[in-house]
A and B are shown apart, each in its own frame.
Chain A
Amino acid sequence: MGNGTLSAIDVARLYPTPVFIYYADKQLPEWNQEAEKVLQLFPGESMEERLAQLISWVELDVGAYAGKMDSSILTKEIRLNQEMRFYEVITSPMYGGVGEFEGIMLVLRDVTALRAAEARRLEREKEETLAANLLSLLAPKNWIAPTRWQVFGRSIPARALGGDYYDIIPIQEEKKVILVVADVMGKGVQAALWMTMARQVIRQAAARYRDTGSTVEWIHQSLFRDLYHAGAFITMLFMVLDVESGRITYVNAGHHPALRIHGEQAEFLSGKGPALGMTEKPGYTVNFQAIQPGDTLLLYSDGILDSWQADGRGLGKEGLAKVVQQARLLKAREMLDGIFKAARAYPEGQQRWDDMTAVVVRRE
């Protein structure tokens, strides 16, 4: 050019993607180094033959762009060895200084990886939606004994599917209520499958309930072998509420302790043992406590404690105790609202967060 301005092909050489420049007044185009690699994908004895194949592949008609201002975009595929590759083809008309049509610029963008990722995402979404629909059918019902007890639970998975699980199971003609909060290692479909299996086992255990210790032992025995061999584990807080006396008996298998609010006092209930699947002889201890009129009990998953706040720290046990204490006079459902609002104080999607589950027990 000599006058300091860059020609179209000079610009194309700076592009990291394949570019072909077809001039209106020339038979052969020009192309950059990346485009050279694309040409090698087409069969042909000479470069002219390969170019002819390329034109046919992208359905190019240079003359058709004369007088047009718009670019066209289409996606084309080509087989390379045994693998299909996908290119986005962007064709734009070029005009000179006085508005004369000079030709077209053809830019190719390899979108194979993007398409594969998109296909995987769609497949995963489909799978998760199906499973989430199934799981929503399995969601436990809240339990209320008018003027005496309110038991409300809620679980929000971080993805379409989560590894958290809670259950509220009235037994013995509603003289007792089994409360469970469990957290399966990991996330996604695999964790959800473990969770469904654990739910099944826990429900079976509830149906044959005699006492808390032997019930948890049965759950452990039923799940241990599968969990151990898969290298997985489930943390679980298993609790039985005696409706008449307010007494609770519970076993903690590697889970965060329940929080009891009595008057203005907040207390995390003692008792711990290894998570399900961790060891063959866990030696679980059965613990006893009482829920008195006016008391609140909270069972929760680690997602409630760990979810990041605006200051970059988790809500933590102290923060949770404060939230529940402040909400102690509210109804169970409103208290749940407050807990989830506090735990999700930061903008969604901007920070790491986990499945969140909580069960509130209020004695009136």
Chain B
Amino acid sequence: MNIQFEENGTVLICKLNEDLDMASANLFKTKVEQYIASVSFEKMVFDLANIGFMDSTGVGALVQMIRLIQGRGARVRLTGYNEEIGDVLDLIGVLRIVGAE
């Protein structure tokens, strides 16, 4: 799973460079969990501009990370997703738990 992290003040940006699916979901969770364990931030942005596909396991992994981050009192924002992924995130209700900004 190819992920890049970038810290910008109190914002942590997590850029996914590979489709989030059954094959990559566990590694995605491990990498995010490991990274956020040692940094402090007020907002986390998942940049999905470089991914073209997300299956239900991938959505589940993303939801788990959103809850983990929200549980730490930080906000989450999703950006850059394509129309197809946006439709799925909207349909399942993920955009609703992230909230609009």
Contact = CB atoms under 8 A, between A and B. Distances in A.
B63 A231 contact: yes
Interface in B17-75: 22, 55-57, 59-61, 63-64, 67
B63 A254 contact: no
A74 to B, nearest CB: 36
Interface in A280-297: 282
Nearest to A354: B55
A231 B64 contact: yes
Contacts, number: 51
Contacts of B97: 274, 278-279
B100 interface: no
Chain B interface: which size bin? 10 to 19
B60 A231 contact: yes
B62 to A, nearest CB: 10
Contact of B91 (A163, A231, A235, A354): A235
Contacts of B93: 254, 273-275, 278-279, 282
A22 interface: no
Contacts of A256: 91
Chain B contact surface mostly: helix
B61 to A, nearest CB: 8
A154 B97 CA distance: 33
Most chain B CB within 10 A, of A163, A183, A186, A187, is at A186
Contacts of A231: 60-61, 63-64, 67
Q: Which of B55, B67, B93 has the most CB of A within 10 A?
A: B93
Contacts of B55: 354
Contacts of B94: 278
Contact of B63 (A183, A255, A273, A278): A278
Contacts of B92: 233, 235, 254, 274-275, 278
Contacts of A354: 55
A183 B56 CA distance: 9
A232 interface: yes
Contacts of B63: 231, 233, 278
Contact of A254 (B61, B64, B91): B91
A254 B60 CA distance: 13
B44 to A, nearest CB: 17
A187 B91 contact: no
A232 B60 contact: yes
A187 B67 contact: no
Contacts of B56: 163, 183-186, 233, 302
A272 interface: yes
A186 B55 CA distance: 8
Contacts of B22: 186-187
Contacts of A184: 56
Contacts of A279: 93, 96-97
Contacts of B96: 274, 278-279
Contacts of B64: 231
Given A274-B96, A278-B97, A279-B96, A185 B91 contact: no
Contacts of A187: 22, 57
A341 to B, nearest CB: 23
Nearest to A231: B64
A354 B59 CA distance: 15
6 contacts: A231-B60, A231-B63, A231-B64, A232-B60, A254-B91, A275-B93
Interface of B: 22, 55-57, 59-61, 63-64, 67, 91-94, 96-97
Interface of A: 163, 183-187, 231-233, 235, 254-256, 272-275, 278-279, 282, 302, 354
Cβ-closest 4 pairs across A and B: A274-B93, A231-B64, A254-B92, A278-B93
